[in-house]
Chain A
Amino acid sequence: METFLAILTVFTQPELLALVGIGTFAGIYIGAIPGLSVTMAVSILISFTFSWDVYPAISLMVGIYMGGVYGGSRTAILLNIPGAPSAIATAMDGYPMAQRGEAGQAIGVTTVMSFFGGLIGILVLALAAPFVSEFALTFQPRDYMLLAVLGILLVGSLSSGSMVKGIFAGALGIAIGAVGRDPLTFTERFTFDFQIMEGGISFIAVMIGMFGVSEALIQLQNVGMKAVRQKIDKIVPSFSTIKTYLPLSLQTSTIGVIIGALPGTGGDIAALMAYDHAKRVTKNPKIPFGKGAMEGLVAPETANNAAVGGAFIPMMTLGIPGDAVTAIMIGALFIHGLNPGPMLMIDQPDMFWFIIGALFTANIFMLIFGLTGIKIFTKIVEMPRSVIIPLILLLSIVGAYAVNNSITDVYWMLGFGVFGYFMRHYGYPLGPVILGVILSRLLDDNWRRAIISEREDLGRFFHGVFTSPLSCVLFVAVILIFVSQTPLWTAIKKRVFAKTS
């Protein structure tokens, strides 16, 4: 009964309901403006909700997240520019549909399928998270450490681009997180005897710099790009269309939830895998894949929204984020004094169920806003970049300043903005950096706890790893990801293939 009441908190307080609505609306439109991403929106907005109570802040953020994952599909369909990493696969068939003049239908189906996928994700989250968190209580410090390493490695290896660059980015993030006085021994780390570095680098500054400033700087090169006006009509899809694709969407939602639930993998990978799955199971598509097949739109869109619920599972129960956006969400929870992990479910079950309620509400808002307001939408998307870019830069500065009222944070943010700008240009993924910063403390603490409990003996540590099934699986996974990148692996693969052929 209490659980039920906690879920309903959102509905009983009009203020919270409105905030979820505003957040979803903002998320959809921010995600839909080319060049603005969900990651950017969430990272800038976190700092503004700093002084708020927990509930309103979470309501707004959940709305933006849910709306943004969906909103990214719009620019993918209309302009062939995915608004979020999770919409990469959507562009493959969505854009050809828009070119044929079926943009309205594409958006309509995308909306309904996103809603459907989102719903399944939330259901699984509500059912699975309590069990996972109970299981997580038996985790040893070394398991947490291995999970953190695994998460960072997965983000680095699966996001597009080279894996070595991903590993570098993840390690950089952990190093940034270690700056300042060590919380256990008070030793200075990477402070170079500067007093301002003793408190560490605010992860909000890193985040806003990497996702806000660097992106705005990149967009400066596209200032002259004209917004393309697309004709959009008949957006609400017919019931029979939805019924046709329901079986497929059920399969791809499952893929979405599972991929989302793995630490380190989020909506982008879920969407690509679902697209791949749809290609395999659809024997005779009406229109071939890549040319505007409806299946190619349904699959990634259900999967990426289902992955939202999935990604919340490791985030809420283990404190390990699935991708860059969930990493930022964890940061937001930290700021508001919550500590995501197995204890969250025990200490504050209400908070968990409240988030479920907020996600559910955001999903409904997404359906409503997605199927209406297409006129306002075309207006907003046409906003000139020459105005948007200065505004983003302004908001980034305000955001970085607001958290600690310190000008130092603004300079950190600018520094990381310029650094991130070059990283983007040269194909270094930024997601692992943020994941590293967020997980740095967890990794460090748990490593030290683990090795101290084994009396500083590496032999005993590895004995512990190999005698516990969970640690063993995690350890092998970490090693496998590493080995798959070395020349050794290619050599083995060659030999094996040579033998079979």
Chain B
Amino acid sequence: MDPEFRGDIDHHDGTSDATPGGYREKRRPGELAFALFLTLASLFLLYSAYGISGFEALSAPGAIPMATTLVMAVSAGIVALRTARLQRVTTETLSKDILPVTVIVFIGFLIVFGLALQPLGFVLTAALFLIVAIKVLAKRGWGYTLAVSLGSLVVIWIVFRVVFTVLLPAGILPEAEFIQFFRTLISKGAF
């Protein structure tokens, strides 16, 4: 029984939820920088936790935050030290295995999605996002891209907006009228 068992041998990148990334004996590109970042961030949070109530009392609101950030700082420090001692993986590079262009592009897409969600409304933003994302990933013709993205958007919209009654920003489209239309359709169908 090997608890470090992974289905994927070539890419230790957590192909599924069950298989966490990282190697036991080596460090991946950027791993040390991340560990150092976590250490510094934990120390800053420890300082911030001290600012809540200091050493006023054991039951003070800052007691548990101070204890947890101390644990964070110490454990992050240990991880950083251990990582620093490991050898680098020679077969991986930061731009190929850790942060490829596609991932950066998609993080950008998501930020734009968030910015546009309220002014444009859910339907338009989601349509644009799906079209662009599927076009970029599938690299197929416009017919396929439009059919798949708009088709799935319609399904998602009906399921979440009408069935789950999730409130989504309406934006510039007259969404309420659409929903009313669907509701009348459903209630007519029921009787």
Name which of A52, A85, A174, A175 has the most chain B CB atoms within 10 A of its CB: A175
Looking at A116-124, A335-343, A357-365, A393-401, the stretch in contact with chain B turns out to be A393-401
Q: Are B118 and A407 in contact (CB under 8 A)?
A: yes
Name which of B76, B110, B117 has the most chain A CB atoms within 10 A of its CB: B110
Q: Are B138 and A178 in contact (CB under 8 A)?
A: no
- In residues 1-43 of chain B, which contact A (Cβ within 8 Å)? 1, 3-5, 7-8, 11-24, 28, 30-31, 34-35, 38, 42
Given the interface pairs A187-B52, A192-B48, A220-B100, the reply to whether A175 lies near B13 with Cβ below 8 Å is: no
Q: Are A402 and B68 in contact (CB under 8 A)?
A: no
Given the interface pairs A164-B79, A384-B138, the reply to whether A185 lies near B61 with Cβ below 8 Å is: yes
How near does chain B come to A11, taking the closest CB pair, in angstroms? 23
Given the interface pairs A390-B133, A424-B13, the reply to whether A171 lies near B114 with Cβ below 8 Å is: no
Q: Are B61 and A184 in contact (CB under 8 A)?
A: yes
Digitize A179-196: 1 where CB-to-B-CB distance is under 8 Å, 0 elsewhere: 000101101111010000
Enumerate chain B residues within 8 angstroms of A426, measured Cβ to Cβ. 21-22, 28, 30-31, 34-35
> What is the chain B residue whose CB lies nearest that of A75?
B16
Enumerate chain A residues within 8 angstroms of B17, measured Cβ to Cβ. 37, 39-40, 83-85, 211, 215
> What is the chain A residue whose CB lies nearest that of B138?
A386
Enumerate chain B residues within 8 angstroms of A75, measured Cβ to Cβ. 16
Contact sample, A vs B, 18 pairs, CB 8 Å cutoff: A35-B15, A37-B18, A72-B18, A162-B79, A162-B82, A167-B71, A184-B61, A190-B65, A211-B17, A220-B100, A220-B102, A221-B100, A221-B103, A223-B137, A385-B137, A393-B133, A401-B168, A407-B114
- A447 is an interface residue with CB less than 8 A from chain B: yes
Enumerate chain B residues within 8 angstroms of A188, measured Cβ to Cβ. 52
- B124 is an interface residue with CB less than 8 A from chain A: no
Enumerate chain A residues within 8 angstroms of B100, measured Cβ to Cβ. 220-221
Q: Are B130 and A171 in contact (CB under 8 A)?
A: no
How near does chain B come to A45, taking the closest CB pair, in angstroms? 9
Q: Are B164 and A448 in contact (CB under 8 A)?
A: no
Given the interface pairs A39-B17, A386-B137, A386-B138, the reply to whether A391 lies near B98 with Cβ below 8 Å is: no
Q: How far is the CA of A427 from the CA of B16 in the complex (A)?
A: 13
Q: How far is the CA of A451 from the CA of B22 in the complex (A)?
A: 40
- A421 is an interface residue with CB less than 8 A from chain B: yes
Given the interface pairs A187-B52, A390-B134, the reply to whether A418 lies near B107 with Cβ below 8 Å is: yes
- A126 is an interface residue with CB less than 8 A from chain B: no
How near does chain B come to A433, taking the closest CB pair, in angstroms? 11
- A161 is an interface residue with CB less than 8 A from chain B: yes
Q: Are A178 and B110 in contact (CB under 8 A)?
A: no
> What is the chain B residue whose CB lies nearest that of A95?
B7
Enumerate chain A residues within 8 angstroms of B7, measured Cβ to Cβ. 76, 79-82, 91
- In residues 201-244 of chain A, which contact B (Cβ within 8 Å)? 211, 213, 215, 217-218, 220-223
Q: Are B63 and A178 in contact (CB under 8 A)?
A: no
Q: Are A171 and B103 in contact (CB under 8 A)?
A: no
Q: Are A218 and B156 in contact (CB under 8 A)?
A: no
Digitize A363-393: 1 where CB-to-B-CB distance is under 8 Å, 0 elsewhere: 0000000000000000000001111011101
- In residues 107-159 of chain B, which contact A (Cβ within 8 Å)? 107, 109-111, 113-114, 117-118, 122, 126, 129-130, 133-134, 137-139, 148-149, 152, 156
How near does chain A come to B140, taking the closest CB pair, in angstroms? 8
- B78 is an interface residue with CB less than 8 A from chain A: yes
Q: Are A221 and B138 in contact (CB under 8 A)?
A: no
Q: Are A401 and B20 in contact (CB under 8 A)?
A: no
How near does chain B come to A304, taking the closest CB pair, in angstroms? 11
> What is the chain B residue whose CB lies nearest that of A182?
B61
Digitize A443-478: 1 where CB-to-B-CB distance is under 8 Å, 0 elsewhere: 110011001100010100000000000000000000
How near does chain B come to A469, taking the closest CB pair, in angstroms? 24
- In residues 48-96 of chain B, which contact A (Cβ within 8 Å)? 48-49, 52-53, 57-59, 61-65, 68-69, 71-72, 75-76, 78-79, 82
> What is the chain B residue whose CB lies nearest that of A35?
B16
How near does chain A come to B126, taking the closest CB pair, in angstroms? 6
With A389-B137, A428-B20 given, name 6 new contacts (CB 8 A).
A51-B164, A174-B68, A178-B64, A188-B52, A211-B17, A452-B59
> What is the chain B residue whose CB lies nearest that of A222?
B15
Binding site for B on A (CB under 8 A): 34-35, 37, 39-40, 48-52, 72, 75-76, 79-89, 91-92, 159-162, 164-165, 167-168, 171-172, 174-175, 178, 182, 184-185, 187-190, 192, 211, 213, 215, 217-218, 220-223, 268, 272, 275-276, 279, 384-387, 389-391, 393-395, 397-398, 401-402, 405, 407, 410-411, 414, 417-418, 421-422, 424-429, 440, 443-444, 447-448, 451-452, 456, 458
Given the interface pairs A51-B165, A161-B20, A394-B156, the reply to whether A386 lies near B28 with Cβ below 8 Å is: no
Name which of A79, A276, A410 has the most chain B CB atoms within 10 A of its CB: A410
How near does chain A come to B135, taking the closest CB pair, in angstroms? 9
Q: How far is the CA of A160 from the CA of B17 in the complex (A)?
A: 11
Q: How far is the CA of A270 from the CA of B147 in the complex (A)?
A: 44
Enumerate chain B residues within 8 angstroms of A448, measured Cβ to Cβ. 59, 63-64
> What is the chain B residue whose CB lies nearest that of A422?
B34
Q: Are A447 and B63 in contact (CB under 8 A)?
A: yes
> What is the chain B residue whose CB lies nearest that of A385?
B137
Given the interface pairs A217-B106, A386-B134, A390-B137, the reply to whether A168 lies near B79 with Cβ below 8 Å is: yes
Enumerate chain B residues within 8 angstroms of A39, measured Cβ to Cβ. 17
Q: Are B114 and A456 in contact (CB under 8 A)?
A: no
Q: Are B59 and A402 in contact (CB under 8 A)?
A: no
How near does chain B come to A166, taking the closest CB pair, in angstroms? 9
How near does chain B come to A385, taking the closest CB pair, in angstroms? 8
Q: How far is the CA of A84 from the CA of B132 in the complex (A)?
A: 30
Enumerate chain A residues within 8 angstroms of B15, measured Cβ to Cβ. 34-35, 81, 218, 222
Q: Are A92 and B5 in contact (CB under 8 A)?
A: yes
Q: How far is the CA of A370 from the CA of B119 in the complex (A)?
A: 45
Residue A34 contacts which of B16, B72, B78, B169 (CB distance < 8 angstroms)?
B16
